[in-house]
Amino acid sequence: MWKVIGERAVSLVVTLLVASVGIYGALFLAPGNPATLLAGGHATPAVLATIERTEHLNEPFFTRYWDWLVGVLHGNLGQSFVYREPVTTLLAGRVGNTVFLVLYAATLIIAGGVVLGLLAALDRRAGAAITVLTSVGLGIPSFVAAIALITVFSVKLGWFPVFGSGTGLLSQLWHLTLPAVALAISWTAYTAQLTKAAVREELGREHVETARSRGISRRHVILRHVLRNAMIPITTVSGLTVAGLIAGDVVVEQAFGINGLGSFLVQSTLQKDFASVQAVSLILVATFVIVNGLVDLWSLVLDPRLRTGRA
Amino acid sequence: MNVLEINHLAVELPVEGALRRVLHDVTLSIGPGEAVGLVGESGAGKSMASRAVIRLLPAGAAVHGDIRYSGDSVLAMDRAALRHFRTHDVAMVFQDPRAHINPVRTIGDFLLEALLERGERRDDARAAVIAVLAAVGVSEPERRLRQFPHELSGGLLQRVMIAAALAVSPTLLLADEPTTALDVTTQSDVMVILDARRRERGLAMLFVTHDLELAAAVCDRIAVLYAGFLVEDAPAGDLHRNLRHPYTAGLLASRPDPVAPRPRLAAIPGRPLSAFEVGAGCAFAPRCAFAVERCHLERPELRVLDAGRVACHRAEELAGQLALSPTPGGSE
């Protein structure tokens, strides 16, 4: 088991390294010279040369990548060209909102998806309604959901704020409810459909028949045999859900005017603020890779057959 | 009083919206400590009959007739009574232990679950389970409790399933082809253990198998199913000497003889009918070498003959002839 965990950890680090090269390199393939940008448009060649030297822009790619990586590992994400401030300072005030929003949405997705899926699989009548509901939900993109939710609950009913992220737990909950719902709708529908299929499949398994033949109560059969085993595919797909949340987060933060990583990424990209874009991209990719790594570990806990390292 | 009494059991299963008959007419009883072998080809309905006893048929199945455990109607049991029946009185050993034991829970979870479910204390249950594991020949029982099913061989896992069945101290054991999914080398070991522990504890058993010889070896009586009908029910010792039904004779003749091998195995001509294909007459008539006109028109009732029962119009006339000509020619 420890061998399997070790292998997963090594592959996680390698994935992160490769991703970091990609992120650092991609921006230098983009058109536009950062030195021109820094100089403010009307720069003489001499000024540009000075900037290139002080910002180390003329050094070989891998030297610059290495310096950047060492900095990142020491918690230094670079200096924003636009704000003239360390990127870490700029991110500090924004990370909290995004983490809150993503966790809020993830909770809604997992709780809502699993409960709806389980109901749909166990109860024929509820199942029909939930299937229709989730098919519709699956087709609603988060930006459409965002606009619809703002129109109904913020503008018409006035129950929730139109924009902003609030301060303090209760205010944050209140401000981020609509964004989290917008972010969660299609993923909840997806998780519900997946759960329904997984539970249906487990219900038909022979070992479930055995449990029933032994007089195990229906509640225990569902919890310990059906849902317990269905959690394996559900967990695997949940990892991918997080990827969707990170991408969707960018859209939803823009729509609701939330000052988080997603909206910061959009701003920085528009302003060609290289260091900021790199930093946010790296954080998003690292989150995705690490979450998937954790999901892998959790799968080992759920499925003992994976622990031998053969599967 | 008989442990199990099945009267005119008929079962229909929903197939593509329509009910399809898988069992026509099964009447069978098992006394205390008695082992009855339920023998038949695939599709004859033998697994359905054993599942009907414990009400484990698929949703939507229609069950007719009567099943009584110690006089109580199983079909009429409410939820609580059915649970009590399943947790205390009856236990089932399934064919494929690999599929029939939850792969993600430990052997200990599996064995203890049924005992904890009926309210036993964990320590007592654990001690009982360890004792019964040792009794079925599982080495290092305490270590096994922590292992997962995929860490055990098929033969060992089937012993675990037998242990699970014995652990609840049932009165009636239902064994659905308990050795069919195992390696040939472990089949006999597992069968010997199942047989020995059953006799020791005086359990009644319904032993479902396609293997007539095996059933004759471990059971007191043999009941033969064909296309959803019970066609013969005889003391196990009578089977070779005193065959009653042409189908049973055909089954016996189709087995390879390890002592005097024949160049070619005998086979019953034609293909086995499914229960829903059966016409008005005797279900076996289309394949029977001894069928006369009456056999195709009129369904034979199961009637008492000597020590057993048989459903064949010509049982008396054919007595003696069947054993002499074990491989009747084709008649189609």
What ipTM describes this predicted complex?
Answer: 0.85
Residues B204 and B267 both lie in one domain: no
Helices then strands (H, E): number in chain B?
Answer: 14, 12
Structural domain span for residue A49: 2-73
When pLDDT is averaged across residues B286-296 and rounded to a whole number, the result is: 87
Residues B166 and B303 both lie in one domain: no
More confident residue, A30 or B160: B160
Q: Label residue A79 exposed, middle or buried (CB < 10 Å: 0-12, 13-18, 19+).
A: middle
Domain assignment present for B284 = yes
Residues facing B36 on adjacent strands: B206, B221
Q: How far apart are CA B141 and CA B276, in angstroms?
A: 46
Residues B17 and B52 both lie in one domain: yes
User: Mutate which of A207, A221, A305, A307 to test chain B, going by most B C-beta atoms within 10 A?
Assistant: A207
- Single residue among B223, B249, B267 that ends a domain in this structure: B223
> For residues B187 and B179, is the Cβ–Cβ distance under 8 A?
yes
Where on the phi/psi map is residue A310: left (φ > 0), alpha (ψ -120 to 50), or beta?
Answer: alpha
Domain assignment present for A48 = yes
Q: How far apart are CA A63 and CA A143, in angstroms?
A: 41
pLDDT tens for residues A50-89? 777 776 677 777 888 888 888 888 888 777 877 878 888 8
The answer, yes or no, to whether residue B108 has pLDDT greater than 90, is yes
Domain assignment present for B232 = no
Residues B211 and B81 both lie in one domain: yes
The answer, yes or no, to whether residue A310 has pLDDT greater than 60, is no
Residues B298 and B249 both lie in one domain: yes
The answer, yes or no, to whether residue B330 has pLDDT greater than 70, is no
Domain assignment present for B230 = no
Residues B301 and B193 both lie in one domain: no
Cα–Cα distances in angstroms (integers) from residue B156 to residues B95, B139, B185, in the given order: 13, 9, 12
Give the highest mean pLDDT range of A90-104, A198-212, B296-310.
Answer: A198-212
Task: Give me the pLDDT at residue A67, please.
Answer: 84
Rg (CA), chain B: 21
Residues A30 and A122 both lie in one domain: no
| Total tally of structural domains belonging to chain B | 2
The answer, yes or no, to whether residue A191 has pLDDT greater than 80, is yes
The answer, yes or no, to whether residue A231 has pLDDT greater than 50, is yes
Residues B91 and B195 both lie in one domain: yes
The answer, yes or no, to whether residue B325 has pLDDT greater than 70, is no
Residues A159 and A228 both lie in one domain: yes
* DSSP character string of B1-17: --SEEEEEEEEEEEETT
For residue B292, the SS3 value is coil
| Band of residue A39 on the pLDDT scale cut at 50, 70, 90 | low
The total number of residues written for chain A in this structure: 311
A142-149 vs A228-256: helix crossing angle, rounded to 10: 60
Where on the phi/psi map is residue B262: left (φ > 0), alpha (ψ -120 to 50), or beta?
Answer: beta
Domain assignment present for B266 = yes
Between A and B, how many residue pairs show a Cβ–Cβ distance under 8 A?
77
> For residues B248 and B328, is the Cβ–Cβ distance under 8 A?
no
Q: Which amino acid is at B180?
A: T
Choice among A32-36, A237-241, B1-5, B198-202 with the minimum mean pLDDT: A32-36
| Band of residue B5 on the pLDDT scale cut at 50, 70, 90 | very high
The tokens for A231 are 């959690």
- Single residue among B223, B252, B281 that ends a domain in this structure: B223
pLDDT tens for residues A68-79? 888 888 888 777
Choice among A143-157, A207-221, B200-214 with the minimum mean pLDDT: A143-157
Residue B151 is classified by DSSP as G
Domain assignment present for B235 = no
Which residues in B have their CB inside 8 Å of a CB on A?
54, 56, 82-88, 91-92, 94, 96, 99-105, 113-114, 117-118, 148, 150, 164, 168
The answer, yes or no, to whether residue A33 has pLDDT greater than 80, is no
User: With contacts defined as CB-CB under 8 Å, which chain B residues touch A217?
Assistant: 83, 117
Share the mean pLDDT of chain A. 83
Residues B179 and B260 both lie in one domain: no
Cα–Cα distances in angstroms (integers) from residue A309 to residues A290, B143, B263, in the given order: 20, 21, 49
Domain assignment present for A79 = no
Residues B99 and B174 both lie in one domain: yes
Residues A64 and A200 both lie in one domain: no
Nearest Cα residue to B190 out of B180, B203, B199: B180
Is the alpha carbon torsion for B43, B49, B54, B57 positive or negative? positive
The answer, yes or no, to whether residue A194 has pLDDT greater than 80, is yes
Rg (CA), chain A: 24
Residues A168 and A221 both lie in one domain: yes
The answer, yes or no, to whether residue B149 has pLDDT greater than 90, is yes
- Single residue among B190, B223, B256 that ends a domain in this structure: B223
Residues A254 and A186 both lie in one domain: yes
Percent of chain B with pLDDT over 90: 45
Q: How far apart are CA B158 and CA B180, in angstroms?
A: 11
* CA within 13 Å, CB half, A62: 1
Q: How close is the nearest chain B Cα to the Cα of A29, in Å?
A: 49
The tokens for A221 are 């059969």
CATH code at position B31: 3.40.50.300
Task: Give me the pLDDT at residue A32, please.
Answer: 65
- Going by their DSSP bridges, the two strands B172-176 and B90-93 should be labelled as parallel
Task: Give me the pLDDT at residue A309, please.
Answer: 54
Q: Which amino acid is at B57?
A: L
The tokens for B146 are 């922590």
User: With contacts defined as CB-CB under 8 Å, which chain A residues touch B181?
Assistant: none
* Tokens 């947790």 belong to residue: B87
Residues B180 and B262 both lie in one domain: no
Domain assignment present for A85 = no
The answer, yes or no, to whether residue B329 has pLDDT greater than 50, is no
Residues A231 and A276 both lie in one domain: yes
The answer, yes or no, to whether residue B95 has pLDDT greater than 50, is yes
* DSSP character string of A88-127: HHHHHHHHHHHHHHHHHHHHHHHHHHHHHHHHHHH-HHHH
Domain assignment present for B236 = no
Q: How close is the nearest chain A Cα to the Cα of B222, in Å?
A: 24
pLDDT tens for residues B165-219? 999 999 999 999 988 888 888 888 888 888 988 998 889 999 999 888 889 889 9
Nearest neighbour of B104 by CB, restricted to A211, A215, A229:
A229
Residues A114 and A38 both lie in one domain: no
Residues A17 and A137 both lie in one domain: no
The answer, yes or no, to whether residue A179 has pLDDT greater than 90, is no
pLDDT tens for residues B42-83? 878 888 999 999 999 888 889 999 999 999 999 999 999 999
Domain assignment present for A257 = yes
The tokens for B55 are 């009400």
The answer, yes or no, to whether residue A311 has pLDDT greater than 50, is no
Cβ contact (<8 Å) for B100 and A209? yes
Phi, psi of B176 (to 5 degrees): -100, 95
Domain assignment present for B282 = yes
Residues B247 and B218 both lie in one domain: no
CATH code at position A148: 1.10.3720.10
* DSSP character string of A42-64: ---HHHHHHHHHHTTTTS-HHHH
Domain assignment present for B205 = yes
Q: How close is the nearest chain B Cα to the Cα of A126, in Å?
A: 18
Percent of chain B with pLDDT over 70: 94
Choice among A40-54, A227-241, A283-297, B150-164 with the minimum mean pLDDT: A40-54
Structural domain span for residue B164: 4-223
Give the highest mean pLDDT range of A244-248, B261-265, B296-300.
Answer: B296-300
Residues B143 and B13 both lie in one domain: yes
Give the highest mean pLDDT range of A164-178, B258-272, B273-287.
Answer: B273-287
| Band of residue A238 on the pLDDT scale cut at 50, 70, 90 | confident
Q: How far is CA B8 from the centre of its chain?
A: 17
| Total tally of structural domains belonging to chain A | 2
| Band of residue B332 on the pLDDT scale cut at 50, 70, 90 | very low
* Residue of chain A nearest B119, judged by CA positions: A216
